[in-house]
């Protein structure tokens, strides 16, 4: 099952058309699909069906109707990061909300409430998830509740002394971000890290998984295509295959300004979600007055705020706080419904929705 996040467009399928799909690729994809379907109960499937139908009816009637609970959650273990990537609010120290770590108590309370209906939790939002040392217990707790768990990491905290624990308490899917295959291309964006360290960490992860004969995590190497690395697109597929990752995903980059577009936007238009016309940076997406994210996904910041989607990096559109109300109450609240209605009527009216490809 391809778990597409709301802040990204994965180009895996289109890229597969550009290269031969090997038999082992098919086996890996089938294995992953079967693995994720183990988490699918009748109740979760019925919940997903209710969400889909009510979303469809909302589009037809232009009124927000919500019959189920979120199918996916983004939960933020921490918004702290040890890198300073130029387009990341956390890395650049631009977040106006407090920096901190999610408490395991809040996490478990939330998981207990959502586990019967929700299919999957993504334990990342802003920040490097493995900075929060409680992440291992969070992963184990969510997996005990049979949720499909994914974590995204820059790999900088994967060392010999914790690789065993990362594999023993692994998520179902681990996304390893590496946006360059030599020091120049890597450091052009991943400021604070080095290619040598990332390469060593990924090798260590794969070796440890083999040594422990572990089935998880499904290791996905994620490569954001930008000006500094677009010449390495074919090479990263070969690199991933040689190392033995389960999947390589090419991702388009989110860019916030014309200035950064000039620095980072790839020349090859198919790897960009924008068009740059002088100082005017426009997203290619048609920005229809609809957004499935507001039905199928919910997002929880480290301190318990509920926000509409992972584009709301600074919690500018808070919809509630799970320290004060139950999630179910917030999900069906007037505030959440008003936000859904706003998007159904005029998506362009919410500034963050103008830089979104959903």
Residues lying near ligand SF4 in the complex (CB under 6 A) are found at 6, 291, 293-294, 308-309, 311, 343, 347, 350, 352-353, 356, 358
Task: State which residue, 99 or 352, has the beta carbon closest to ligand SF4.
Answer: 352
> CA dist 352 to 31, 74, 164, 309, 310, Å?
37, 18, 40, 10, 10
Task: State which residue, 117 or 293, has the beta carbon closest to ligand SF4.
Answer: 293
Task: State which residue, 181 or 281, has the beta carbon closest to ligand SF4.
Answer: 281
Cα gap 230→180, rounded to integer Å: 9
Q: In angstroms, what is the minimal distance from the CB of 94 to ligand SF4?
A: 18
Q: In angstroms, what is the minimal distance from the CB of 190 to ligand SF4?
A: 25
Q: In angstroms, what is the minimal distance from the CB of 217 to ligand SF4?
A: 26
Task: State which residue, 1 or 352, has the beta carbon closest to ligand SF4.
Answer: 352
Task: State which residue, 198 or 353, has the beta carbon closest to ligand SF4.
Answer: 353
Q: 262: number of CA atoms within 13 Å, CB side?
A: 6
Q: In angstroms, what is the minimal distance from the CB of 28 to ligand SF4?
A: 29
Q: In angstroms, what is the minimal distance from the CB of 344 to ligand SF4?
A: 11
Torsion angle in degrees (nearest 10) through CA of 240, 246, 252, 257: -80
- The length of the chain is 358
Q: In angstroms, what is the minimal distance from the CB of 175 to ligand SF4?
A: 19
Return the closest-CA partner of residue 229 out of 271, 194, 186, 195: 186
> CA dist 165 to 19, 216, 222, Å?
36, 12, 22
Task: State which residue, 15 or 122, has the beta carbon closest to ligand SF4.
Answer: 122
Q: What DSSP string describes 22-42?
A: -HHHHHHHHHHHHHHHTT--H
């Amino acid at each position: 099952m391809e778990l597409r996040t709301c802040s990204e467009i994965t180009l895996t399928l289109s890229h597969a058309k550009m290269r031969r799909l090997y038999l082992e690729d098919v086996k890996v994809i089938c294995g992953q699909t079967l693995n994720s379907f183990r988490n699918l109960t009748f109740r979760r499937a019925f919940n997903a069906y209710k969400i889909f139908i009510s979303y469809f009816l909302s589009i037809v009637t232009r009124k927000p109707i919500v019959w189920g609970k979120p199918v996916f959650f983004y939960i933020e273990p921490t918004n702290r990061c040890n890198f300073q990537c130029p387009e990341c609010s956390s890395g650049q120290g631009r977040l106006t909300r407090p920096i901190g770590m999610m408490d395991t108590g809040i996490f478990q309370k939330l998981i207990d409430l959502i586990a019967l209906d929700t299919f999957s939790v993504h334990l990342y939002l802003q920040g490097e998830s493995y900075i929060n040392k409680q992440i291992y217990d969070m992963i184990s707790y969510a997996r005990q509740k049979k949720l499909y768990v994914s974590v995204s990491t820059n790999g900088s905290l994967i060392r010999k002394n914790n690789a065993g624990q990362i594999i023993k308490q692994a998520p179902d899917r681990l996304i390893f971000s590496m946006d360059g295959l030599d020091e120049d291309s890597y450091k052009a964006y991943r400021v604070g890290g080095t290619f040598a360290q990332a390469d060593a960490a990924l090798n260590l992860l794969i070796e440890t998984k083999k040594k422990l004969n572990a089935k998880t995590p499904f290791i996905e190497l994620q490569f954001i295509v930008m000006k500094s690395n677009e010449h390495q697109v074919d090479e990263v597929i070969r690199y991933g295959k040689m190392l033995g990752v389960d999947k390589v995903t090419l991702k388009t980059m989110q860019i916030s300004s014309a200035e950064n577009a000039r620095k980072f936007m790839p020349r090859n238009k198919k790897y960009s979600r924008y068009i740059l016309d002088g100082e005017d940076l426009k997203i290619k997406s048609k920005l229809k007055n609809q957004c499935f994210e507001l039905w199928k996904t919910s997002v929880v910041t480290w301190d318990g705020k509920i926000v509409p989607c992972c584009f709301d990096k600074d919690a500018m559109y808070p919809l509630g706080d799970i320290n004060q109300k139950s999630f179910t109450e917030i999900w069906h609240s007037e505030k959440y419904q008003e936000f859904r209605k706003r998007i159904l009527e005029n998506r362009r009216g919410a500034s963050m929705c103008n830089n979104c490809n959903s």
